[in-house]
């Protein structure tokens, strides 16, 4: 008797995510993180105003290869698209578009060069800048890296656009050959100095890895695409948490 | 300006601080290492790299400078280039280890999610170019950037030393002009494959090496290195305390966000400009060294004591211990990245590394002493 009830409960539990999927709202379970990992001081006054008055909102994500989402098949599986779904779900009645301007392998400097054309020209309320991986891989000059970030954020603020920085992916297998730390520190410090919200993707993914939510090492070939799809869905959700917090 | 008849007693402070900077370089070369928050760079704009380069210039001026003065340019240059060759071989050896590590990593981490990160192995696509560029010191993988700087510094040293001995200003003025030009116009040497500048720009760092050589030459001649006057240590102390307080506010801010970082807008970017040895780093380091020699007199009992001995021994065998430290940092980082970076393991890796460095220094010191012919065993031979 009791067992039977338990079974129906489990069956019901399994149905919930299916229902959610059917409604087109991504709700990846189990990848929540402690609040302090998604919270930062800067706020998004421009975005907050548009959401409050229910004006159309454009968010541009400018970034590198993880932004393109190619590992999960790109396009709809990339985290900017997942973010768009999450925001539409959280702010019903506001037309929200998230544009994906990811180009694989670009350094901060290359992205800054197309900031005007790819981001500012779209008249966004918020620009999310995913940056630093190619710089750490190629060991670009740290001083130039931080200067580029600072100039880019200042440029966005001058155009009355809110700015968010997304740091590198946590990549346990390559940390022994890529020196991420100075670039992570530099990016966080510039966020602080230039008043841009920092989304700590590195720490969030590290948290997932340590909590056993995802395993990023020795992934069998057949599961790589699935892993990327789940991680991008979770990132989109956590980005929406951060934006919720920044428009408070 | 009579030349000293006998070589002055070795200044153990050089060995002590060089040994200490070797430990700090080891600790700072393990990324994400918890102990790296407790090294010099938390309380100063400069770090162990400045100490290492300055002391290397200082001791080179004493050892090879004495040979230059007594036996002439050719022998002094030949001895210097013997050292350069040893450093070069050590660099190539470390490069081999790095390449092995990258090949292993690419195999383990091959995952489209990390497509961008995999770019670190791009040099393997054209090994015929990469190996030549590495031999030419134009390809410097991450974490292997300080040895090439040391090699270039020493390679130019015999010529710089001729100027230093003629008159300090003959060396200092051109060196300072080059340094200023680098700060002003960003002159740099460029690297394979993307043409990025050297992590340690030799055109900037040569200034500190030459300052070290000039000070070392003064000491070798038995002259005062610092002018007389009590205000000098006090001024230096003021600079050190000021920089320490500012750096500490940054450290606290990074841990506890509401705490305000003092002068971060103005000083933070120059303070991390290690590539070009920004003036704030240089000034902070010079002040630190003045304070260090004022606090620790040359004849201090501490230096000859049991506690200082392992550190002094590491400093006296700095070439070997330096290379060993870099190698251990690479291996230690590999353990933390591949196995676990739990706090206890981090502390163990640090402790193991330092114990190995000290053990190696004891073995080298024993070997040097034991293989010396009995007759000359009493005459202490200076280390490099």
Residue among A103, A133, A174 with most chain B CBs within 10 A, to mutate: A174
Query: Which residues are registered as beta bridge partners of A197?
Result: A164
Cβ–Cβ contact A27 with B under 8 A: no
Q: Which residue has the higher pLDDT, A14 or B149?
A: B149
> What's B197's DSSP letter?
B
Task: Confirm whether A18 is domain-assigned.
Answer: no
Number of A/B CB contacts below 8 angstroms equals 119
Each residue of B249-265: pLDDT tens digit?
Answer: 988 887 777 788 888 88
Q: Which residues of A touch B102 (CB under 8 A)?
A: 177
Task: Confirm whether A160 is domain-assigned.
Answer: yes
Conformation bin of residue A54: beta by default, left when phi > 0, alpha when psi is -120 to 50? left
Each residue of B22-42: pLDDT tens digit?
Answer: 999 899 888 778 887 778 878
- Using CB atoms, which residue from B101, B253, B269 is nearest to A146? B269
CA distance A245 to chain B (A): 17
For chain A (248 residues), the mean pLDDT of every run of 10, in chain order, is 42 45 53 93 95 95 94 89 95 95 94 96 97 91 92 97 96 82 91 94 93 87 90 95 94
Q: How far apart are CA A32 and CA B138, in angstroms?
A: 45
Contact yes or no for B49/B146 (Cβ under 8 A): yes
Neighbours of A105 (CB within 10 A): 15
CA distance A183 to chain B (A): 11
SS3 B373: coil
Q: Which residues of A touch B143 (CB under 8 A)?
A: 179
| C-alpha separations of A2 from A7, A13, A15 in Å | 9, 16, 20
Task: Confirm whether A68 is domain-assigned.
Answer: yes
* Distant-in-sequence, close-in-space partners of B151: CB < 8 Å, separation ≥ 6: B84, B87, B88, B91, B137
Q: Which residue has the higher pLDDT, A184 or B123?
A: A184
B99 → chain A, closest CA residue: A177
Task: Confirm whether A83 is domain-assigned.
Answer: yes
Contact yes or no for A62/A124 (Cβ under 8 A): no
What would the mean pLDDT of B9-18 be, rounded to a whole number? 88
DSSP letters spanning B295-324: HS-TT-HHHHSTTTHHHHHHHHTHHHHHHH
Cβ–Cβ contact A36 with B under 8 A: no
Cβ–Cβ contact A70 with B under 8 A: yes
Q: Which domain holds residue A161?
A: 36-246
Count how many Cα atoms sit within 13 Å of the Cα of residue B275 in the half-sphere of its side chain.
Answer: 21
> What's B190's DSSP letter?
B
Q: How far apart are CA B48 and CA B277, in angstroms?
A: 13
Q: How does the average pLDDT of chain B come out, rounded?
A: 87
Q: How far apart are CA B117 and CA B108, in angstroms?
A: 13
Q: How far apart are CA A60 and CA A100, in angstroms?
A: 6
Q: How far apart are CA B218 and CA B215, in angstroms?
A: 5
First to last CA, chain A: 48
| C-alpha separations of B7 from B3, B296, B308, B313 in Å | 10, 22, 23, 20
**What pLDDT sits at residue B356?**
97
Statement: residue B60 has pLDDT above 50: yes
Q: Which residues of A touch B330 (CB under 8 A)?
A: 176
Cβ–Cβ contact B107 with A under 8 A: no
Beta sheet of A57-63, edge-to-edge order: A96-102, A57-63, A126-130, A162-166, A197-199
B194 → chain A, closest CA residue: A138
**What pLDDT sits at residue A240?**
96
Cβ–Cβ contact A66 with B under 8 A: yes
Per the structure, how many domains does chain A have? 1
Alpha-carbon dihedral sign for residues A154, A155, A160, A165: negative
Cβ–Cβ contact A25 with B under 8 A: no
Complex ipTM: 0.81
Length of chain A: 248
What would the mean pLDDT of B302-306 be, rounded to a whole number? 89
CA distance B157 to chain A (A): 27
**What pLDDT sits at residue B134?**
86
Least confident of A54-63, B2-11, B175-184, B269-278: B2-11
CA distance A7 to chain B (A): 37
**What pLDDT sits at residue B111?**
82
Q: Which residue has the higher pLDDT, B5 or B323?
A: B323
Query: B297-301 long-range CB contacts below 8 Å, 24 or more apart?
Result: B298/B11, B298/B12, B298/B13, B300/B13
DSSP letters spanning B8-48: PPP-HHHHHHHHHHHHHHHHHTSTT-GGGGGSGGGTSSS-H
Contact yes or no for A141/A77 (Cβ under 8 A): no
- With b for 16 or more beta-carbon neighbours within 10 A and e for fewer, the B265-299 pattern comes to eebbbebbbbbbbbebbbebbbbbbbbbbeeeeee
- Using CB atoms, which residue from A142, A176, A186 is nearest to B337? A176
Per-residue pLDDT band for B122 (boundaries 50, 70, 90) equals confident
Q: Which residues of B touch A179 (CB under 8 A)?
A: 31, 142-143
B188 → chain A, closest CA residue: A141
**What pLDDT sits at residue B8?**
54
Task: Confirm whether A30 is domain-assigned.
Answer: no
Cβ–Cβ contact B8 with A under 8 A: no
The candidate with the shortest Cα–Cα distance to A239, out of A114, A81, A21, is A81
- Using CB atoms, which residue from A65, A172, A179 is nearest to B31? A179
**What pLDDT sits at residue B235?**
94
A210 → chain B, closest CA residue: B340
Neighbours of B348 (CB within 10 A): 13
Q: How far apart are CA A234 and CA A33, in angstroms?
A: 10
Cβ distance B109 to A231 less than 8 Å, yes or no, reads: no
Compute CA B22 distance to the chain's CA centroid, rounded to the nearest angstrom.
7
The candidate with the shortest Cα–Cα distance to B194, out of B251, B238, B133, is B133
Task: Confirm whether A202 is domain-assigned.
Answer: yes
Q: How far apart are CA A82 and CA A240, in angstroms?
A: 9
Q: How far apart are CA B149 and CA B200, in angstroms?
A: 6
Task: Confirm whether A71 is domain-assigned.
Answer: yes
Alpha-carbon dihedral sign for residues B371, B373, B378, B380: negative
Q: Which of A182-186, B6-10, B267-271, B329-333 has the highest mean pLDDT?
A: A182-186
Q: Which residue has the higher pLDDT, B155 or B330?
A: B155
CB proximity under 8 Å: A 187-246 to B: 188-189, 192-193, 216-219, 224-225, 227-228, 231
CA distance B69 to chain A (A): 41
**What pLDDT sits at residue A17?**
45
CB proximity under 8 Å: B 113-172 to A: 113-120, 141-143
Task: Confirm whether A112 is domain-assigned.
Answer: yes
CATH number at residue A194: 3.40.50.1110
Count how many Cα atoms sit within 13 Å of the Cα of residue B271 in the half-sphere of its side chain.
Answer: 22
Contact yes or no for A181/B41 (Cβ under 8 A): no
First to last CA, chain B: 25
- Using CB atoms, which residue from B114, B141, B199 is nearest to A174? B114
Cβ distance B194 to A138 less than 8 Å, yes or no, reads: yes
Conformation bin of residue A179: beta by default, left when phi > 0, alpha when psi is -120 to 50? beta
CA distance A56 to chain B (A): 32
What would the mean pLDDT of B274-292 be, rounded to a whole number? 93
Q: How far apart are CA A85 and CA A91, in angstroms?
A: 10
Contact yes or no for B383/B316 (Cβ under 8 A): yes
**What pLDDT sits at residue B238?**
95
**What pLDDT sits at residue B106?**
80
What would the mean pLDDT of B289-306 be, rounded to a whole number? 89
């Amino acid at each position: 008797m009791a067992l039977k009830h338990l079974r129906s409960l489990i069956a019901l539990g399994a149905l919930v995510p299916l229902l959610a999927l059917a409604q087109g709202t991504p709700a990846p379970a189990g990848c929540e993180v402690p609040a302090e990992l998604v919270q930062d001081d800067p706020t998004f006054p421009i975005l907050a105003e548009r959401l409050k008055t229910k004006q159309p909102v454009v968010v541009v994500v400018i970034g590198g290869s993880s932004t393109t989402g190619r590992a999960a098949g790109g396009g709809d599986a990339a985290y900017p698209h997942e973010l768009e779904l999450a925001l539409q779900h959280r702010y019903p009645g506001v037309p929200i578009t998230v544009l994906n301007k990811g180009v694989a392998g670009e350094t901060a400097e290359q992205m800054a060069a197309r900031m005007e054309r790819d981001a500012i020209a779209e008249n966004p309320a918020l620009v999310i800048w995913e940056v630093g991986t190619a710089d750490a891989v190629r060991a670009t000059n740290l001083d130039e890296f931080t200067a580029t970030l600072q100039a880019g954020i200042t440029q966005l603020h001058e155009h009355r656009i809110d700015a968010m920085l997304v740091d590198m992916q946590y990549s346990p297998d390559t940390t022994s050959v890529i020196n991420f730390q100075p670039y992570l520190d530099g990016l966080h410090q510039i966020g602080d100095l230039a008043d841009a919200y920092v989304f700590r993707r590195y720490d969030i993914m590290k948290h997932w890895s340590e909590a056993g939510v995802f395993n990023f090492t020795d992934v069998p070939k057949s599961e790589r695409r699935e892993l990327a799809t789940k991680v991008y869905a979770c990132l989109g959700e956590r980005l929406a948490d951060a934006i919720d917090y920044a428009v408070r | 300006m009579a030349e000293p008849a006998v070589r002055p007693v070795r200044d153990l402070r050089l060995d002590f601080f060089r040994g200490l900077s070797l430990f700090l370089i080891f600790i700072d070369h393990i990324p994400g290492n918890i102990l790296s928050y407790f090294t010099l760079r938390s309380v100063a704009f400069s770090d162990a790299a400045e100490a290492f380069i300055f002391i290397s210039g200082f001791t080179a001026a004493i050892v090879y400078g004495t040979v230059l003065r007594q036996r002439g340019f050719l022998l002094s240059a030949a001895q210097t280039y013997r050292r350069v060759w040893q450093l070069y071989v050590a660099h190539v050896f470390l490069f081999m280890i790095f390449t092995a590590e990258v090949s292993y990593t690419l195999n383990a981490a091959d995952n489209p999610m990390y497509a961008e990160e995999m770019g670190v192995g791009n040099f393997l696509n054209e090994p015929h170019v990469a190996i030549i560029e590495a031999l030419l010191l134009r390809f410097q993988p991450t974490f292997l950037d300080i040895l090439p700087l040391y090699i270039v510094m020493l390679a130019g040293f015999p010529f710089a030393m001729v100027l230093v001995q003629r008159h300090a200003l003959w060396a200092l003025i051109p060196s300072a002009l080059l340094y200023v030009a680098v700060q002003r116009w960003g002159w740099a040497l460029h690297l394979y494959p993307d043409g990025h500048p050297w992590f340690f720009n030799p055109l900037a760092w040569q200034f500190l090496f030459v300052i070290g050589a000039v000070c070392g030459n003064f000491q070798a001649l038995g002259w005062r290195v610092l002018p007389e006057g009590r205000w000098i240590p006090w001024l230096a102390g003021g600079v050190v305390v000021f920089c320490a307080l500012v750096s500490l506010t940054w450290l606290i801010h990074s841990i506890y966000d509401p705490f305000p970082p003092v002068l971060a807008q103005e000083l933070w970017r120059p303070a991390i400009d290690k590539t070009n040895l920004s003036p704030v780093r240089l000034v902070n380091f010079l002040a630190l060294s003045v304070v260090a020699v004022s606090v620790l007199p040359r004849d201090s009992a501490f230096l000859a004591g049991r506690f200082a001995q392992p550190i002094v021994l590491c400093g006296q065998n700095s070439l070997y211990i330096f290379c060993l430290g870099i190698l251990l940092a690479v291996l230690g980082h590999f353990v933390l990245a591949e196995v676990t970076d739990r706090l206890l393991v981090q502390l163990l890796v640090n402790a193991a590394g330092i114990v190995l460095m000290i053990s190696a220094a004891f073995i080298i010191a024993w070997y040097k002493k034991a293989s010396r012919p009995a007759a000359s065993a009493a005459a202490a031979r200076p280390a490099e």
